[in-house]
Amino acid sequence: MTISYADFEKVDIRVGRITRAEPFPEARKPAFKLWVAFGPDIGEKRSSAQITTHYKLEELVGRQVLAVVNFPPRQIGPALSEVLVLGVPDEAGQVVLIGPGHEVPLGGKLF
């Protein structure tokens, strides 16, 4: 399936920084609850991510990540996910987070 560039422009992908991470024992698959700050225009948003294989809670705080910020909120068990933090699967199918290779301003838009 191909999409137009105009379709791609509708997806708002921004840089955020994880400010808080907690266990999410209620999730069906092992996951963490995340709070991600995107700067003053977007603010802090909540998410969850199945990233327990490659990451420990204490190493997530402070990490910059990319996330889709214009999907509607989604209820995941007892938690509301406001953004979709992006990642790609490794060879075993476990999620590896996507983020900038260098420190960049929060809220920066992927283009």
Is residue 52 situated within a structural domain?
A: yes
In whole angstroms, give the CA distance from residue 22 to residue 7: 34
Do residues 44 and 37 lie in contact, with contact meaning Cβ atoms separated by under 8 Å? yes
- Assigned domain for 109 exists: no
| Continuous segment of H or E residues that includes residue 87 | strand 87-89
Are the C-beta atoms of residues 81 and 74 closer than 8 Å to each other?
A: yes
Q: How many domains does the chain have?
A: 1
pLDDT computed for residue 59 by the predictor: 96
CA distances from 8 to 11, 39, 40, 47 (A): 6, 23, 24, 22
The predicted model scores a pTM of 0.94
Is 83 within a domain?
A: yes
Task: Render each residue's pLDDT in the chain as its tens digit; 111 residues.
Answer: 999 999 999 999 999 999 999 999 999 999 999 999 999 999 999 999 999 999 999 999 999 999 999 999 999 989 999 999 999 999 999 999 999 999 999 999 998
Tell me the CATH number at 86: 2.40.50.140
Range of the domain at 55: 10-97
Query: Burial, 83: exposed, middle or buried (Cβ in 10 Å; 0-12, 13-18, 19+)?
Result: buried
